[in-house]
Amino acid sequence: MYRKTIYRILPALSLALGIFLEGCSSHLQAPDIPEGLGLLQIHLTPGEGRTLIPDITFARYDLTLSTEGEESITRSITAGESLTVELIPVIWTITAQGFAQAGDETPIAQGSLSVKIKSGSTETITLPLGPLEDVGVGTFRYTISLPEGLSSATLTLSSLANSENPVIRNLGTEGSNGTISGRAAGYYRLNLTMDREVSLIAGQRTSLSEVVHIYDGAETGFILSAEAAAALAWAYLPKAWLSFDHGRRITDADVPATQNAWELQNTYYVPSGQSVVLVPLTGNIPQGAVYEWTIDNTPVHTGEILTRAFTAPSSLVKVTAKVDAVTHATASTLVKTASAGPRSGGTKAQAATCIEFSPAPGQFVGRGNGYSNPAITDLSSLTEEDVRDIVQQYLDGHRTFNNIDYDGKVFSLGGWGGYYILGFDHSVPNGSGADLRIASNYHVAHMGEAGVVWVSQDLNGDGKPNELWYPLKGSQASSIKGYAMVYFKPRDASSAFWIDTQGGTGTFSYYPNGNDGYPYHITGKTGTYVMFTGTLLQDSNLNGYVDAGSVTFDLSDAVDAAGNGLSLEYIDFVKVQTGLNKDGAGVGEYSTEAGIPEDLHFGG
């Protein structure tokens, strides 16, 4: 049935250029709301945090409110006004355009978001506006002074839409000033990297990253003093390392700062007599390196991959990366054979135990509202065990999820690499058709934030995921396996700087309300960084990944580290890990939201 759209313009509040988005219930005194309707208050406020915008004022804003089957509401307002509307309780899309002059026909900025209106309640949104890409050209100007003791410093300005042709400026060791003109309007990433060499292997690096808005006909400026640059935290990272700990995070507590290279050891349980593939993770290993493998100190193989069927109760496997006979890094793992078999019984279809909750930095990490699950407002005061216990309360039904309108109830895993590991109270069989269901919030905005699904078996029966992890193969053919990213702990309420094994650097741009989005429960009080490892996906909307359109998953899609198909009889643990390293500028990082895995064969 056609329903007439009911709205009314209420007293104005304030309006200016907006760059951040936040949906929440209003605490302002609102007018009486007619029965069967909800109230929407729209604000546009100045940006804050790690975003550079030009000194620009919009003379006019055009707003459109639309929903399926209803008349669109269109209004033009000027700076100093806002809009309050009574609406029927459905999901509405609000779009705003900004014009440099009141009589202009072509906007230079635009923003859009969706909000669900609830009957009898008030929703308040702050609508983000950003530059319309490729609408004219603008200028970026910088003035940078550097502290003493640097070996090099580099400024890079690259488009977030197309990073193929970045502008790179060598700042020397003292700093520089300059202008980058003729840049197409849009979003850009500014990276300032400063290095000090300590030895041939060990080095120190710090960096600053900002999102830059370039508007047609405007100049965006950046000024950094030597004192401010010197205040940035220096963080130690070894320049060459190897590790077998695929998919698990590593902190500086795992690596002595005196080591020139990491020599990490862990234990894997593998099926007795079945061939397994071991692939070391590598970081900053020079070109031309030779990988030498030994088993119980006996040389067995030269190459990047070791494929072996282990039959002995335990074997010490070690790999060494050498260049011109000089060792650059080593890693070892104790491989033990086990075969406990599948567990029967169980009391619930969904995963019952939280093994680990390790989100990467993200806008909903440590906020406690909105999309944020678990609802924690201060991770810095909690330990890993505290956070795991809180997540367990959600699994047990003792805590209520936020965002309950979505498909199931979901946890936000933060930016690339963030993950949870959940265990079942029984083994999930590899049956006919799909075996697992993992909900997400994809159907709300249809913005793919793909997360990789990993599975593992409890071969030794100890209830811990200390066996090999296997990803479920999706549609992404160009993924980067063995990828790693390091997030440095912020010194203040700013977003965490990251570097990766592909030579990339940056930060995410959107952290509202002073929240820096860092998982402090992982690094603790004294740690300075956390490194995540796993698979980097290249596209947003993919098949076979969580929060990208897929909801059900088949264990027959499991593959080993070399991409070979497997025939897993069952699994006991599921890990979902954010697969995209992508910044949505004014709306934040692409972070996987994943629900509790469910055994589709349970009780059948």
Name residues whose C-beta falls within 8 Å of residue 409's C-beta, 6 or more positions apart in sequence. 373, 394, 401, 403, 439, 595, 596
Query: Which pLDDT score, from 0 to 100, does residue 456 have?
Result: 96
Split at pLDDT 50, 70, 90, the class of 460 is very high
pLDDT higher for 10 or 177? 177
pLDDT higher than 60, residue 15: no
pLDDT higher than 90, residue 455: yes
What amino acid is encoded at 169 in this protein? R
Query: Which pLDDT score, from 0 to 100, does residue 539 have?
Result: 75
**Mean pLDDT, rounded, for 85-100:** 89
Query: Which pLDDT score, from 0 to 100, does residue 602 have?
Result: 93
Hey, is 317 helix, strand or coil? strand
391: DSSP letter:
H
**Mean pLDDT, rounded, for 112-135:** 83
pLDDT higher for 584 or 69? 69
pLDDT higher than 70, residue 345: yes
pLDDT higher than 50, residue 14: no
Query: Which pLDDT score, from 0 to 100, does residue 180 have?
Result: 96
pLDDT higher than 80, residue 265: no
pLDDT higher than 70, residue 390: yes
Split at pLDDT 50, 70, 90, the class of 195 is confident
The values of phi and psi at residue 220, to 5°, are -105, 130
CA distance 254 to 533: 14
Name residues whose C-beta falls within 8 Å of residue 381's C-beta, 6 or more positions apart in sequence. none
Q: pLDDT by residue (tens digit) across 396-412?
A: 988 877 764 455 588 88
pLDDT higher than 50, residue 5: no
CA distance 358 to 223: 35
Is 217:504 a contact under the CB 8 Å cutoff?
no
pLDDT higher for 46 or 292? 292
pLDDT higher for 45 or 140? 140
Q: Is the dihedral of CA 161, 282, 536, 20 positive or negative?
A: negative
**Mean pLDDT, rounded, for 146-170:** 86
Beta bridge partners of 167: 157
Query: Which pLDDT score, from 0 to 100, does residue 492 have?
Result: 59
**Mean pLDDT, rounded, for 198-224:** 74
The pLDDT mean for the chain works out to: 80
Distances from the Cα of 495 to the Cαs of 481, 487, 489, 557, in angstroms?
Answer: 26, 10, 9, 36
Split at pLDDT 50, 70, 90, the class of 306 is very high
Candidate from 62-66, 214-218, 382-386, 587-591 with smallest mean pLDDT? 587-591
The values of phi and psi at residue 445, to 5°, are -110, -10
> 17: closest CA among 140, 113, 111, 133?
111
Q: pLDDT by residue (tens digit) across 136-154?
A: 899 999 999 998 878 889 9
Cis peptide before 128 (omega within 30 of 0): no
pLDDT higher than 70, residue 279: yes
**Mean pLDDT, rounded, for 513-523:** 73
Candidate from 75-79, 354-358, 503-507, 557-561 with smallest mean pLDDT? 503-507
Looking up tokens 């230079």 gives: 108
Burial class (CB in 10 A: 0-12, 13-18, 19+), 415: buried
> 306: closest CA among 292, 326, 290?
292
Q: pLDDT by residue (tens digit) across 409-430?
A: 888 898 999 999 999 999 999 9
Query: Which pLDDT score, from 0 to 100, does residue 462 have?
Result: 93
> 370: closest CA among 40, 119, 24?
24
pLDDT higher than 80, residue 368: no
Cβ count near 325 (within 10 Å): 6
Split at pLDDT 50, 70, 90, the class of 318 is very high
**Mean pLDDT, rounded, for 1-22:** 29
Split at pLDDT 50, 70, 90, the class of 22 is very low
pTM of the model: 0.71
Query: Residue 145 is encoded by which pair of tokens?
Result: 């002074």
Contacts 24+ apart (CB under 8 A), 286-291: 286/240, 286/323, 286/328, 288/323, 289/321, 289/322, 289/323, 289/328, 290/321, 290/322, 290/323, 291/319, 291/320, 291/321
Q: HSE-up of 406 (CA within 13 Å, CB side)?
A: 28
Domains of the chain (ranges plus CATH)? 22-131 (2.60.40.2580), 137-232 (2.60.40.10), 240-248+255-338 (2.60.40.10), 353-476+539-599 (no CATH)
